[in-house]
Amino acid sequence: MNNMGEIVHLLETGCHAWRCGNDQEGVSNFQRACLEWLEHMDQAEGSTEEEWSTISTLVSLLDNVMDLLRSQDIVVATDVLEWRVIPFLRSCE
């Protein structure tokens, strides 16, 4: 599975866990997805301007999710992940 595919899988699994009330599993999968994404970023050296634009958009989306998680609004954070972040990542595959 490519890196983006693994990230999407982890986010989907985390969202499902959150929707089922398993906050610990949701957080664990979100953290693993973030680590995978950081690894992907490490490999993105020398990326084109278009690729950096994609990265910038994703950073903005994830920043929004982090703000929501900090305020403990897991339902809205999960909505943002499912309706904005995951589709965006799929479009990048």
3-state percent breakdown (helix, strand, coil) of the chain, nearest 5: 85, 0, 15
Tell me the C-alpha distance between 81 and 7, whole Å. Answer: 12
Half-sphere exposure for 74 (CA within 13 Å, toward CB) = 15
SS3 1: coil
pLDDT score recorded for residue 46: 64
Q: What is the mean pLDDT of residues 5-21?
A: 94
pTM of the model: 0.84
Instruction: List the one residue out of 78, 86, 84 whose CA is nearest residue 15.
Output: 78
Number of domains, the chain: 1
pLDDT digits (tens, 9 = 90+) for 66-76: 999 899 998 99
Local confidence band at 1 (pLDDT 50, 70, 90 cut-offs): very low
Note down the domain range covering 48.
3-92
* Largest Cα–Cα separation, the chain: 41
